[in-house]
Structure 1
Amino acid sequence: MAGHSKWANIQHRKGRQDAKKAKFFTKAAKDIILAAKAGGGNPDDNSSLRLAIQKAKAVNLPKDKIENAIKKGTGEIAGGDIIEVVYEGYAPGGVAVLIEAATDNRNRTVAEIRHLLGKNGGNMGEAGSVSWMFNKKGVILLNEEQYSEEQVMEVGLEAGAEDILHEDGMFAVHCAPTDYMAVQSAFEEAGMEYESSEMSQIPENMIEVDVETGRKVMKLIDAIEENEDVQNVHVNADFPDELLEELAG
């Protein structure tokens, strides 16, 4: 679990840089379309849509594009023919890879993902081959320089958080999907700003990798994340501190 916490922090830092890239607009819009499609276009009644809109605003997706994405999801305008798919496979070193995508062409996307895995030392797995190694959780990161552990625990645990990890200058608050919005709202109501907040796939067990293998895994992750259909990539690699410090720098 500790390795995931460090990697989550690195992903967050990468995300702030990547947010400037146009492809993240596409991914944010797809999140909104899917959320509206599943639960309706009113964010007050649809917590998934509320979260998708928050993430879209974080990458500066224009208001009109947010509104259009909602309308696509509810069927008011064309363009909402998007489905969620999950691909499973392995990266170098036997590291498990779980890839969440949103696409309007399943055949195209699976071919592209298979190609990217093979090109970067990985391979596609069968459905269920690695998903059992991960648990879906809400993950909220707060900066330890802003809040004490006591503050985070008091608010988080009272709202239903399951675990609070302290690592790499961050408090990582984990909670069940059903409690996610309640925990996030509790921090907001307490006036506590979080660095990031998202649903994630937490690995049950980590695989330790050396620096060389870790770089290969990172290269694979970067290549897959470049695909505009890919929403999230999760791995169970416990990356060496040396490599994480290199990335953080």
Structure 2
Amino acid sequence: MAGHSKWANIKHRKGAQDKKRAKQFTRAIKEISVAVKEGGGPDPETNPALRNAVSNAKGVNMPKDTIERAIKKASGAEADNYEAVTFEGYGPHGIAIFVECTTDNTNRTVASVRSIFSKNGGSLGTNGSLEFLFDKKGVFVIEKENIQMNMEEFELELIEGGATSIEKEDDFITVYTEFTDFGLMNSKLEEMGIETKNSEVQRIPLNTLELPVENAKQIIDLVEKFEDDDDVQNVYHNMEITDELVEEIEKD
């Protein structure tokens, strides 16, 4: 999972500097909307899904008043009617791609996702065809500067909160839990007064495929095309993120 966290943290750094900030806000607002609708109302204190969505919105530096407006709109009569849909397929070189979307127009989203696959050497598959290649995990990204205790002591607290793996990359720590322990870790971090950069359930590949750098960059380009689509929330793949690939990405 080390390559996974390194790529994720590169995206966190890049995302703070470029046009993707607007897309991050759109994703966060959609996450808030779905959390209010499906998670149990507009109060983060009694709605864990909303509390997590608000935390993620703060993680991309969304202003407090924007968050409050999003919650208010989502709980009103004129709330957008979003639903979550997923797509599975293959990109070039046999790489499995899993796309999670939040949309108010499923037909539009299906057409867009199919087009991105087909125009970039991939193919859209049937739902359920690739799900077995991924494992749902709780993933928490924490900035090291937010940790005000001895690292060894901190790691012991994380293990108590259900951590199965802890990875350190530059300024970030990435913590993984079983899917069923996502809420437990959220509670543990709140109890410790630790604010996350991002916390969500992700699909982690059970096995990864390593590609030559030039081929791997094709997959990264495909993933970024999906991520540029307004309906797409998350994209997962089973390509190995090598140190050599990370060096190339950081040059761009």
- TM-score bin (small chain): 0.7 to 0.9
Q: Residue type matched to 2:232 in 1?
A: V
- The answer to whether the aligner puts 1:189 opposite 2:191 as a matched pair is yes
May I ask how many residue pairs the two structures share in their alignment?
A: 248
Percent identity (aligned): 45
Name stretches of at least 5 consecutive residues in structure 1 with no aligned partner: none
- Find the counterpart in structure 1 of residue 120 from structure 2: 120
Once the 2 structures are TM-superposed, how far is the Cα of residue 156 of structure 1 from its aligned partner? 0.8
Alignment check: 8 A CA contact 1:18 1:24 kept: no
Once the 2 structures are TM-superposed, how far is the Cα of residue 46 of structure 1 from its aligned partner? 1.2
CA distance in 1, matches of 2:247, 2:170: 10
- Find the counterpart in structure 2 of residue 198 from structure 1: 200
- Find the counterpart in structure 1 of residue 43 from structure 2: 42
Q: In structure 2, the residue corresponding to 1:238 is in which secondary structure? A: coil
Alignment check: 8 A CA contact 2:15 2:21 kept: no
Q: Over aligned residue pairs, what C-alpha RMSD do you find?
A: 2.4
Q: Residue type matched to 2:184 in 1?
A: A
- Find the counterpart in structure 1 of residue 17 from structure 2: 17
Once the 2 structures are TM-superposed, how far is the Cα of residue 61 of structure 1 from its aligned partner? 3.2
CA distance in 2, matches of 1:121, 1:151: 48
Once the 2 structures are TM-superposed, how far is the Cα of residue 90 of structure 1 from its aligned partner? 1.1
CA distance in 2, matches of 1:237, 1:193: 30
The TM-score, its normalising length taken from structure 1, stands at 0.88
Query: Cα gap change, 1:192/1:67 in structure 2, threshold over 3 Å: closer, same or farther?
Result: closer
Of 219, 222, 225, 1:220 maps to: 222
- Find the counterpart in structure 2 of residue 56 from structure 1: 57
- The answer to whether the aligner puts 1:129 opposite 2:157 as a matched pair is no
Query: Cα gap change, 1:94/1:111 in structure 2, threshold over 3 Å: closer, same or farther?
Result: same
Give runs of aligned pairs for residues 60-209 of structure 1, distance below 5 A.
60-74=61-75, 76-142=76-142, 150-166=152-168, 170-192=172-194, 194-209=196-211
Query: Cα gap change, 1:33/1:160 in structure 2, threshold over 3 Å: closer, same or farther?
Result: same
The TM-score, its normalising length taken from structure 2, stands at 0.87
Query: Cα gap change, 1:14/1:81 in structure 2, threshold over 3 Å: closer, same or farther?
Result: same
Which stretches of structure 1, 4 residues or more, deviate above 4 A after TM superposition? 143-149, 166-170, 191-195
CA distance in 2, matches of 1:120, 1:14: 23
Query: Cα gap change, 1:200/1:127 in structure 2, threshold over 3 Å: closer, same or farther?
Result: same
Q: In structure 2, the residue corresponding to 1:17 is in which secondary structure? A: coil
CA distance in 1, matches of 2:247, 2:74: 40
CA distance in 2, matches of 1:161, 1:29: 28
Once the 2 structures are TM-superposed, how far is the Cα of residue 69 of structure 1 from its aligned partner? 2.9
Q: Which digits, 9 at most, give the CA deviation of each residue in 1:135-181, with x for residues without a partner?
A: 12111234568676523421111112222234566542111233223
Q: In structure 1, the residue corresponding to 2:16 is in which secondary structure? A: helix
Q: Residue type matched to 2:44 in 1?
A: P
Q: Residue type matched to 1:93 in 2?
A: H
Range with greater deviation from structure 2 (108-117 or 174-183): 174-183
CA distance in 1, matches of 2:142, 2:247: 19
